[in-house]
Amino acid sequence: MKRFFDSLTRPVPLFLILTLMGYGLLLPYTGFYWDDWPFAWIAEFLGPAEFIPAFTPFRPFLGPIFFLTTSLIPPIPIYWQCAALLIRFLIGLATLWTLHQLWPEKPRLSLAVASLVLVFPGYSQHWVAFTHINQELIPFLFYILSFGFTFKALHSQRPFPYTGIALLLQVCGLFPTEYFFGFEGLRALLLLLYYSGPIREKITYTLRRWWPHLFVWILNALWLIYYYRFGPYNSYEVTVASEFSWQRYLPEIADTLWKVCFYIWGQVVVLQNGSLQSPSTIFTLCLILTAFILLLTNKTAFKGRSESPSFALSLVLIGLMGILLGRLPSLAAGLPLRLQSSFDRLMVSMMLASSLYMVGLIEWILPFPVMRRIVLSALIALGVGQQFFNANIFRRDWENQKEIYWQLAWRVPGLQPDTLLLTHQMPIDYETDFSFTAPINWMYAPDFTPPKLPYALIYTEKRLGGTTLPALEPDVPVRFTYRTVHFNGTTSQTLVIFKPVNGCLRVLDPERGDAQLYSIESKFLTKAIPLSMPSRIFQYPEKPAAPVFVSSEPEHTWCFFFAKAELAHQAGGFEQVVELFEQAQAGGFSIQDPREGFIFIDAYVQLGKIESAMNLTNALLQEDNRLRNFACDFWTQALDKTSPENMDQLVQFVSGLDCPR
């Protein structure tokens, strides 16, 4: 008993270190992403109980999980990131405990599989914590523990209580999400491996232990059939039953096996190959090396007797079958298995099987224990590096998010209710338009009362022509449901915004000629500009918007001065525009996107400072000659606003612009 207890507790410090190295180093610098935002907004403004009706049209058994977690954890990013760290650590321990129940005499094997599960490199969505803790990781934890209690019952003289707990945990892991529909088959495969003897007896013994879980699985299958076909389900469409063909699915199966069995374990090397000299790459490689040395020098980790080739081969085969079973639900829904995207969340149902496969393969093909330790330590270290690499991506995204929210607050201090914000796309990877809708309402409607949502942000490129945004014409109704609340607006109550990759967020104004100024951008942006109504902005609201829920106000750099200058320009405060420009220059800040400069040129012209306006125009055209047509039109119109004493100078300047005739 003491030896068994030691085998469980001894890896705890190692697991803690691996968890912190992979997931904890950048934790304070990560935030909310994707569906985290609407979920956090619901928790803040509608309360935990709202998740029950919010999930009724999607996954009704997820609602109680969200209710419980949001009752305990406030909608603050750092708390959810800490919770994700804890859940990942518990998943590693639960896997270790579960495999100890199955193979109490194989602690080395259990530790190897659990370590790979802990840092599994194919799953990058750990930092979308609010969403994926509830949607996947908690159900996965339940399911792993369900396996463990099934295996614990194998050694017990009174197996029924453990079987009952296993069934309850299976329900908690299986029914909330269809991700684990195929995962149940892995339990049967491991039971089949556990029993020795002729194949007929193995099958008989397996069915005796497995049939209660098979019954629960059948109930879940019937539930999904009802919910997909006849119930209120409103998500992915199942296609496998009606459109099955080997020609379609064989490439997907081959792609899955390649990625899950091989590529993911070394993908961090491939991803870092293009930036070997960057500080983040150097740090990642040092972290991998540190983890490798730590594992290799650990006196107790991964040491023990070798397994027989037949047992190792069985693990390989079980891993392969488990991977395919885990892929089954997403394959049926027609979802691609794309790495480093939101779709790699589908890997969660293949995590255990992939780790079993890899450990079995190492055990099977490498004859010497030292070689096995080196390879296994290297794979775990690469997993640590991959997760840190992912964390750094989400860190950058969070920094970009904070910039967008603060720039919007500076440029739009207040906003009339029922305003539709349009843009073609934000230069950011881990948020959608519906994701942005939540923090925008958080900023501009801090006293929100349901059910009418006062603001919405819509991507024209994604939504145009659909039910949400039928057309970019005046007076077109824009309506959509946001879980349990609704937005009702029209295209005549619109504010068009734009955030370039290198430049500041700005409000586009058709009266200022922005349709021509931004004509090189996507047509999905330029077609929306005539709808923009900057008059919907409150310049001096009683409580200016401030996204304090993401961070305190950052240092005032160029984009702060530009936002305030554009706001002043909108109100005709040209002296203030020039003053802000001069303050920014005095602080060492300069224009980031040449198109930003024309509000300052216009302010100079309005104030009669023609020389300054011409000098700035020349500087902008030297940086981006594509602006010449707009500059020509601007200065041609400026001729009508110029006093007679400046006319000769201005005519000469316009002639020198080499404008097309």
Burial of 284 by CB count in 10 Å (0-12 exposed, 13-18 middle, 19+ buried)?
Answer: buried
Handedness of CA 75, 79, 81, 83 (dihedral sign): negative
Asked whether the beta carbons of 520 and 529 are under 8 A apart, the reply is no
Q: What is the DSSP secondary-structure string of 268-326? A: HHHHHGGGTTSHHHHHHHHHHHHHHHHHHH-SSTT-SPPPPHHHHHHHHHHHHHHHHHH
Q: Is pLDDT of 661 > 70?
A: no
In this predicted structure, what is the pLDDT of residue 643?
A: 62
**264-278 pLDDT tens trace:** 999 998 887 767 778
Q: Is pLDDT of 6 > 60?
A: no
In this predicted structure, what is the pLDDT of residue 227?
A: 76
Residue whose structure tokens are 């730590």: 294
Torsion of CA 288, 290, 293, 299, to 10 degrees: -120
Cα 528–chain centre separation: 28
Cα 469–chain centre separation: 24
Cα 426–chain centre separation: 14
How far the first Cα of the chain sits from its last, in Å, is 92
Distance CA(226)–CA(232), nearest Å, equals 9
Phi, psi dihedral angles at 458 (to 5 degrees): -125, 135
Residue whose structure tokens are 């607006």: 489
Both tokens assigned to 108: 């080395």
Boundaries of every domain in the chain: 2-236+252-366, 390-554, 555-661
Helical (H) or strand (E) element with 481 = strand 477-482
Q: Is pLDDT of 379 > 80?
A: yes
Phi, psi dihedral angles at 529 (to 5 degrees): -55, -40
In this predicted structure, what is the pLDDT of residue 202?
A: 86
**262-314 pLDDT tens trace:** 999 999 988 877 677 788 889 999 999 999 999 988 877 777 778 888 999 99
Segment of 151-160, 571-580, 647-656 carrying the highest mean pLDDT: 571-580
**26-73 pLDDT tens trace:** 999 999 999 999 999 999 999 999 999 999 888 889 999 999 999 999
Residue 563: closest CA among 586, 542, 588, 534: 534
Distance CA(598)–CA(153), nearest Å, equals 75
Q: Is pLDDT of 438 > 80?
A: yes
CA angle in degrees (0–180, nearest 5) for 313-318-319: 95
**622-659 pLDDT tens trace:** 998 888 888 888 888 877 766 666 677 777 787 777 77
Distance CA(217)–CA(225), nearest Å, equals 12
Higher-scoring residue by pLDDT: 247, 78? 78
Distance CA(366)–CA(381), nearest Å, equals 19
**583-606 pLDDT tens trace:** 999 999 999 999 999 999 999 988
Q: Is pLDDT of 246 > 70?
A: no
Asked whether the beta carbons of 18 and 115 are under 8 A apart, the reply is yes
**402-414 pLDDT tens trace:** 999 999 999 999 9
Helical (H) or strand (E) element with 477 = strand 477-482
Task: Please tell me the pTM assigned to this model.
Answer: 0.90
Helices (H), 73-137: 77-102, 107-118, 129-132
Confidence of residue 483 (pLDDT cuts 50, 70, 90): confident
Confidence of residue 565 (pLDDT cuts 50, 70, 90): very high
CA angle in degrees (0–180, nearest 5) for 486-482-339: 160
Q: Residues near 255 by Cβ (< 8 Å), separated by ≥ 6?
A: 337
Q: What number of other Cβ atoms are within 10 A of residue 442's Cβ?
A: 23
For helices 2-9 and 107-118, the axis angle rounded to 10 degrees is 20
In 485-574, beta strands by DSSP E: 485-490, 494-498, 506-507, 537-538
Q: Residues near 75 by Cβ (< 8 Å), separated by ≥ 6?
A: 39, 40, 41, 43, 44, 130
Q: Residues near 512 by Cβ (< 8 Å), separated by ≥ 6?
A: 599, 602
Residue 261: closest CA among 333, 326, 305: 326
Provide CATH code, domain 555-661: 1.25.40
What's the average model confidence in pLDDT over 83-105?
A: 96
Residue 297: closest CA among 373, 360, 385: 373
Peptide bond before 451: cis, by omega within 30 degrees of 0?
Answer: yes
Helical (H) or strand (E) element with 66 = helix 63-72
